[in-house]
Amino acid sequence: MPGLTDHCQTELATRDATMARRQLRTPDAALVSFASNDYLGLCHHPQVIAAAQEALVEGAGAGASRLVSGNHAYYAPLEAALATHKGKEAALVFGSGYLANLGTITALMGKGDLILADKLAHACILDGAQLSGATLKRFRHNDLAHAEALLSEHRAQYRHCLIVTEHIFSMDGDRAPLVELKTLSAQHASWLMVDDAHGLLDAPPIAADIWMGTLSKSLGAYGGYVAAAQPVIDLLTTSARPFIFSTGLPPSVCAAAHAALRIAVCEPERRERALAHAQRVRYALGLPVAHSTIVPLILGSSEAALAAAAALRDAGLEVVAIRPPTVPPNTARLRLTLTAGHTDTDIDRLLTVLKQEKLAA
């Protein structure tokens, strides 16, 4: 049997051969970034930073899990504000969006239950489904007919059924048909859970049974949350293992997220500006209308995507090449993210470089 080091070197060589090795990316202030998930430009907002600094007097960390002694005073107002924003009775903050999905799905679903997930649902949704012990069925991306067919064929065989989808899909930037999925869930006695990690904090279009979101993208901080009816949140508090066995978020992080949420609600023009930027880029690339600030430029091969990203970096732009297995084979792409922090000059520069590199008409 090879040693651990030899095994890891062999595995890395395999990934190198398929251009699938991942590398850490350090922000470079000299580049204009089109790779950030700080969609509303709140990460560096003075009020957000000031709120974090003020809360630092309470300590650098929470010191323990929230069920031990880490449930500091900054949690309650943040969770109340998140619940109100999503139109639910209560909310629960987790250590990350990944943990929120993992903890929620494994706490609510188990053997004898059915989980129906969109084919392009995020990895943490699929991991949660697999860890839960429930049966997982995946419907073709945004294909309501396929989802209904699976429900008609399988729903009656299981105790509970949870339909899970992203609201905005992270790699394509398109939107799930939530109204129709809500109707399907009601028709088939199922629960609907919506992952809104890449949403722009606009008003919820439907009353999903469970809303999941993050504090780390549009809110510019860190963490994840779930909003639902009070009994759901109470059950998660006592049963979601990633919540129970993780140290709470630092007071400064909760304070920053709460300040960012207040700004996002009071300044809808941030969302409008980010979407306007995305729409301009999508129009230039001949892509459908923008439902989010995510713009995929699909190039096919990993080689092409990496070469394009390198060319843009040489031109002073930070853009990430997304490759399989994160996306399906032959759909490697540049994932452009437009934010409220970008200026019209930034967009002009991006489009100019894309045309120079023959990536846009």
Catalytic residue among 38, 79, 172, 195: 195
Catalytic residue among 38, 113, 166, 209: 166
Active-site residue flag, 358:
no
Given phi > 0 = left and psi -120 to 50 = alpha, else beta, which region is 87?
A: left
Catalytic residue among 33, 36, 96, 170: 170
Active-site residue flag, 160:
no
Distance CA 290, CA 280 (A): 9
Active-site residue flag, 33:
no
CB 95 within 8 A of CB 66: no
Catalytic residue among 122, 137, 277, 291: 122
How far is the first Cα of the chain from the last one, in angstroms, to the nearest whole number? Answer: 54
Strands 210-214, 224-228: pairing is: antiparallel
Catalytic residue among 198, 258, 291, 342: 198
Active-site residue flag, 198:
yes
Task: Sheet containing 320-322: give its strands across.
Answer: 294-300, 332-337, 320-322
Active-site residue flag, 170:
yes
Catalytic residue among 86, 88, 188, 217: 217
Residue 215: φ, ψ to 5°: -100, 0
Distance CA 285, CA 283 (A): 5
Active-site residue flag, 239:
no
Q: Which helix (H) or strand (E) holds 115?
A: strand 114-118
Strands 320-322, 332-337: pairing is: antiparallel
Q: Closest by alpha carbon to 19, among 307, 314, 288, 315?
A: 307
Active-site residue flag, 195:
yes
Q: Catalytic residue positions?
A: 37, 122, 166, 170, 195, 198, 217
